[in-house]
Amino acid sequence: MLRAILIDPLLRVISEVNVDNDLQSFYDILQIRTLAMVNIDNTNSLYIDDNGLLNNDNSLFEIASYAQPLAGRALVVAHNEEGETVETTLDIDQVRSMVGWVDDQTPEEVLEANPPQVTSFDSFEEFMEEMMFANSTDKRLDEHITATQRLLEGDDGE
């Protein structure tokens, strides 16, 4: 079990929860089928519904470190240096101070204002260059990309 913080914009409640550290438990507590992650800071992240904005019945909230409103329930967790999910380092008051409830937009309006962008690449190398450039300040992502590239090239890193 790990300590996490649940954000429920429908009930407008932020609460501390203990959840099993596995995907099915995250799906169950969030009441979702697809999972996405939004970074809050260098350690803490939100697990949210990857399709949350596609359901116009979802309530919205904002988190201070993210540019657009998010839809549906969210779970605040942290990640260690190996990228494993661990309990959040934030306390409930810190999370409460970061969250705002959104009343003046629907998920559809948020999606229209921030449409998904699709980019194609001619090669894996071109993709990797773009990822490294776009995320050069995120050390964990850089490490993940490097490890993925090694795996795809058949190098297990040893």
Domain residues of the chain, as ranges?
2-113, 118-158
Contacts of residue 32, Cβ cutoff 8 Å, sequence gap at least 6: 48, 49, 50, 51, 52, 72, 73
Which tokens go with 94? 């810190």
Which tokens go with 79? 């990640």
Evaluate if residue 46 carries a pLDDT over 90: yes
pLDDT tens-digit readout, 114-144? 777 677 778 877 777 776 655 444 555 556 5
Residue entry with tokens 């229209």: 112
pLDDT tens-digit readout, 64-92? 888 889 999 999 999 988 889 999 999 99
Quick one: DSSP state of residue 52? Answer: G
Provide the whole-model pTM. 0.73
pLDDT at 18: 95
Phi, psi values for residue 136, rounded to 5°: -65, -15
